[in-house]
Chains A and B, each alone.
Chain A
Amino acid sequence: MTFGNANEMKLRNTHIVTTWVSNFVRYGILALLAFAIFGPIANMLLWAVAEVWYYPHKLPLEYGFSFWERVFREEGNATESLMTSVAIAVLTVIVSLIVAIPAGYSLARGRLPWRYLLLLIFLLPQAFPAVAVHMNIARIFYGFGLTGTIPGVVLVHALQGLVFAVWIATAAFSAVDPELEIAARSMGASKMRAFVDVTLPLALPGVLASAIFVFLISLDEFTGTFFVGAPDVVTVPMLLFTSSMEGNYQIASISSLILLVPSILFMFIIERFLKADVLSKVGA
């Protein structure tokens, strides 16, 4: 201990300095990231509680909740459109799962020929400009009397949600060892029974994640709703669009905040349910 004390001190000092520098860099990067993520949100929060705010002032001149009152007032349509949004989202999830569970299972078990082609077909609507796709869908739906109806909007949302639902469900089912299902069959379970008792419960976290994903996509969807639903079906994003167009940033911000709530809930749920081995198989 007595010898080399000076050396040790020197070493320790350099060590402290390098740690300090690396910490500085690390926190600096974190701060930048945080700004990139939370900056726009902070702006939105400010707008949500701003009563009066105009150029060149950096901050609102008056704060208050009068716009919140306006949004949630009977005539404000916020509550009603939130209900519509949630109802459409729930129905979209149901429709998507009805397709995604069997499709994901078959794709995962590789019993379908051309499985990659099929996965690509689900991707196809995303490959074209949404406006063009939705305009044509609206035209077709008009023929079936689906425009301006909730089922019409649900179908449009499901079309977009299915890409993710099928891909995630495929990953979830791929993560389940087929031998577990075979074991159930050998114990005397029919194909369906083995699926319900073994495969589905094991794939459930992934299927749930895909459900939440679809739910969020539906909540957020705009162009499809605009072309197929407007003006009879008013969802929160539609409300947001109208108020933005009118230059009413307060109402737009408050609507965005309402939309943010399910997104944050999603983060928590996905973190709890989605296992890494499922995520790693997405698209595999």
Chain B
Amino acid sequence: MLGARINIENLQASYGSVQVLHGINLDIAAGEFVALLGSSGCGKTTLLRSVSGLFMPSGGKIFLDGTDITTRPPEKRNMAMVFQSYALWPHMTVRQNIGYGLKLRGKSAKDVNQKVDELAAMLGLTEFVDRKTPQLSGGQRQRVALGRALAIDPPVLLLDEPLSNLDARIRLSMRHEIRMLQQRLGITAIHVTHDREEAMVMADRIVILDKGHVAQVGAPEEVYERPANSFVAAFMGAENQFRTRGGANGEAVTLQSDAEECRLPKSKELGDGGVHWNASGNADVSIRFRSEEATLVPQNEQTDGFYRINGTIRQASYPGGVRRYAVQTGEDMLIVDELKTFSEGDQVSICLKPNAIHVFEEE
């Protein structure tokens, strides 16, 4: 069973007078794993439910392998959905839950049982098939929900935050299990999540949604290293932000740093180690960087090839592995993770390698 291709054109959706999707365009290839990533209220679940047919969009079109399915009822779309709440039927056994879709499709009891046994074995549920679902643990329920969805050999699997109710440990292993299953079966998957790392490790491509707009679509490395705008950069962990003056011409970037100007290489493609420049001309710009991609040195120590800003350590904490410092630079408070030990009040420089720097238009 191969996956199906999905094309979403200018999709709009609203709850009453509140518009939650403002013209979404998205093309998903057959067999691709796409993560819809965004904070709560960004419209990612609405987008998924529109694809599944459980929510009627107010405009735009959805195509499945080229056929317009925008108004087709959910039961005729052949997409299986896995819910955050698992939505298992408590009055049925695991076997009945998993076999339900097949029963609906008129399969004989023998075929249903065979398929259920197969899936139960694959998901490690064999010993639980005759239990009612309320007797299962969270991880087991999640597997049943997955088994129920996979039983009908769906060309498209829709995952609505399926891992967010699980324990952290089980969540990590389920990510890989789901990804491996999807790759093995070759089905198309759309996964809704607010967990960046989950989206990064599971998906072929990530769609970042911001207030009902697509903020960026791209492979995990792309959205991580070349965030299209300040919002995406922040969502991808570059929470530190400060303003300065800067300009770019051809190969190089000039950024104002405390007293002097700093010339750094400009990035042209992924992984060339240059500054990610995403502003227009010479002007006030906004710089974003990740706490773990910066280092701290005492102000009097010399460095080479770094962009430096001076500051004072206001707070030191230990989250484990590294030390975390809150550094005051001018009016900004920046967070830096560093192995070396400093104390509160120390005068330090935050050092950024060119590829740690993301420059955006001043907001």
Contact = CB atoms under 8 A, between A and B. Distances in A.
B104 A188 contact: yes
A180 B92 CA distance: 12
Contacts of A188: 75-76, 78, 101, 104-105, 152
B251 to A, nearest CB: 53
Contacts of B79: 186
Contacts of B75: 185-190
Contact of B101 (A177, A187, A190, A201): A187
A192 to B, nearest CB: 11
B70 interface: no
Nearest to A190: B75
B80 interface: yes
Interface in B66-91: 73-76, 78-81, 83, 85, 87-91
Interface of B: 52-54, 73-76, 78-81, 83, 85, 87-91, 100-101, 104-105, 148-149, 152, 158
Contact of B87 (A179, A190, A201): A179
A187 B99 CA distance: 10
A71 interface: no
A250 to B, nearest CB: 49
A202 B81 contact: no
Given A177-B85, A180-B89, A186 B104 contact: no
Contact of A183 (B73, B76, B87, B91): B87
A185 B54 contact: yes
A198 interface: yes
Interface string A150-178: 00000000000000000000000000010
Interchain residue pairs A-B with the least CB separation, the first 7: A183-B87, A187-B101, A186-B81, A179-B87, A185-B74, A188-B75, A188-B104
A249 B75 CA distance: 64
Contacts of B100: 184, 187, 189, 197
A198 B89 CA distance: 7
B93 to A, nearest CB: 13
A182 B158 CA distance: 13
Nearest to A187: B101
Interface in A118-176: none
Given A186-B79, A188-B104, A189-B100, 15 more contacts: A182-B74, A183-B83, A183-B87, A184-B100, A185-B73, A187-B80, A188-B75, A188-B76, A188-B101, A188-B152, A189-B75, A190-B73, A190-B75, A193-B104, A202-B89
Contacts of B149: 187
A179 B101 contact: no
The CB with the most chain A CB atoms within 10 A, among B91, B148, B158, is that of: B91
A283 to B, nearest CB: 24
B91 A187 contact: no
A117 B312 CA distance: 65
A198 B87 CA distance: 11
A183 B78 contact: no
Nearest to A179: B87
